[in-house]
Chains A and B, each alone.
Chain A
Amino acid sequence: MSSSSSPEPDTSQITLEDSISKQGRKKTKSSTLSEEQKKAHHIASEQKRRENIRSEFDKIVSLTPNLTESENRSELNILTKSADYIDQLRDENQKLIELCRMKGIQVPSELIYTGPQNDGSDIAK
């Protein structure tokens, strides 16, 4: 992908021209087919994307007790209820820790929830 960083301008020019001519040849040979292929590919990947999102929604619905399969599956509904559920879990975590402390149980630090650990540094990688 990172073909932009080529040190010598001469070779890069040559390769560029080569690639252009190659592309041109390809297009003239099978322009309609490639277009169709592109389209099909695009449709397939879009379907894949949607299917991924749907499966994730399904997963969240199965995880969240106040979301049921038969319920309104609008994005807003799911996002709101899942956020509610996370808040609920957080509260529960705090209460449990409180309980443990009251009972004099040593709570291991990995069981204490201190907010999201991910800082989003992996997003664009």
Chain B
Amino acid sequence: MTSSTQFDADYNLLDMFSCDMDFEQAYSMYNNLQQNKLMGSFEDLQKVQMLNQQYTTNIPPSQAQNTDYDYGRQQIINKNYQMHTQDSFDEFDQFFTNNESNALEKFLDNLANPNSLSTNPLQFYKQNLSQQHSPILNNELDFNFDLHTMKLPKRNESTTSDSCINLKKELTEAFTNPSHHSNFHNQLPTPVDSRTNSSNQLITPPTSGDELSINKNKRHNSSDEDESEEEGKESKDEAPKKRRRSSNKPLLSLEQKRLNHSHSEQKRRQLCKLAYQRCLELIINIDAFNKLPELNEAERKSKRARVNKDGLPNLSKHNALIRISNEMLTIKSKNDALKKLLESS
């Protein structure tokens, strides 16, 4: 847990790519590193909290640039609110700057609220800014966003701050490995777990009953892998789901269409073939044809096979058509001659 071990782990991790190492070795090393990092950051946070308790006005330099955070912090400090967990998560959230994570949350909320006003992605940021300066007004304005978890004045309420934590956790979970997170979970029991359901239910649109119940079950069992997987999906869940569902029907019908088309095409070909066979039987004496002796190879002039794969005379289209018309003409001439005979008599 000391910095030296952490350094070692770090060094080894970097080395992992160059030297050949077992996957398991590397994985365990990675886990250790993550744990150490986490512990280290946690210790740091505790220190910072200690310092904060001593000098409430003294803001740590790492967070000084974060105006959003500052604003919230000052409000909280004025109301003597202790934000242990909040601090820890803010510190832990290395992946996003506060602004970005806010925007992301807004984006997710927006996805959950399809009839909300914003289509412009920049709006997420803009609202963020306006939030800083006129939180109450903003609060009134976008009542559509039920999940504005990052609203600063609402941090005082434990529910919103919890859901904020929860969301952040989800986001970080999506990018960290599962086992590391399980440790995290065990070491830092937060009141989040009970509320995870509600917030997630709000985020994911109530698509189908069974899906939700599955989600719940998974959460209650809270096998960490499941959770992390879900969380991984969570952030990009909304749009693909919708797309899948909307494209589901057309896909099926497309398949159906293709089947129908091929079926009808086969039918058509079969009909054509039958008609052609009927014509062939009318123009060629099939019995005599079948009794024909095998062709002497030397006598052949063309390489054309005499029998096609159906056992019928292998005529070219043109040839068959000529024979059809010839047959018509011969019968017709006979009939005409017969008619003349009848008339003359």
Q: Identify the A interface with B (CB < 8 A).
A: 2, 5, 49, 52-53, 56-57, 59-60, 63-64, 75-76, 79-80, 82-83, 85-87, 89-90, 92-93, 96-97, 99-100, 103, 105, 107, 110-113, 115-121, 123-125
Contacts and interface: CB of A to CB of B under 8 A. Distances in A.
A60 B334 contact: no
The majority secondary structure among interface residues of chain B is: helix
A123 B301 CA distance: 10
A89 B333 CA distance: 10
B325 A56 contact: yes
A18 to B, nearest CB: 24
A92 B335 contact: yes
B331 A120 contact: no
A112 B341 CA distance: 13
11 contacts: A56-B325, A59-B321, A60-B321, A86-B282, A86-B327, A116-B283, A119-B285, A120-B315, A123-B304, A124-B302, A125-B301
A123 B306 contact: yes
The majority secondary structure among interface residues of chain A is: helix
A94 B299 CA distance: 39
B338 interface: yes
B243 interface: no
Choose among A83, A96, A105 the residue with the greatest number of B CB atoms under 10 Å from its CB. A83
Interface string B311-341: 0011101110111110111111011011101
B265 to A, nearest CB: 12
Interface string B64-78: 000000000000000
Nearest to A77: B275
Interface residues of B, number: 50
Interface of B: 268, 271-272, 275-276, 278-279, 281-285, 288-289, 291-292, 295, 298-302, 304-306, 313-315, 317-319, 321-325, 327-332, 334-335, 337-339, 341-342, 345
A86 B331 CA distance: 8
Given A63-B329, A79-B275, A82-B279, A120 B300 contact: no
Nearest to B306: A124
A93 B327 CA distance: 13
Given A52-B318, A82-B324, A119-B292, A105 B300 contact: no
Nearest to B305: A124
Nearest to B339: A96
Given A53-B318, A80-B275, A116-B282, A63 B331 contact: no
A85 B289 contact: no
Given A2-B298, A76-B275, A111-B337, A116 B327 contact: yes
A118 B283 contact: yes
Contact of B314 (A57, A90, A99, A123): A123
B335 A49 contact: no
Given A92-B335, A99-B342, A111-B337, A63 B318 contact: no
Given A86-B282, A112-B334, A117-B285, 15 more contacts: A60-B324, A79-B276, A83-B278, A92-B331, A92-B335, A96-B335, A99-B342, A100-B341, A105-B342, A119-B288, A119-B289, A120-B306, A120-B315, A123-B304, A124-B304
Given A53-B317, A56-B321, A116-B285, A107 B272 contact: no
B331 A93 contact: yes
Nearest to A61: B325
B284 A118 contact: yes
Given A76-B272, A79-B279, A86-B328, A120 B292 contact: yes
B284 to A, nearest CB: 5
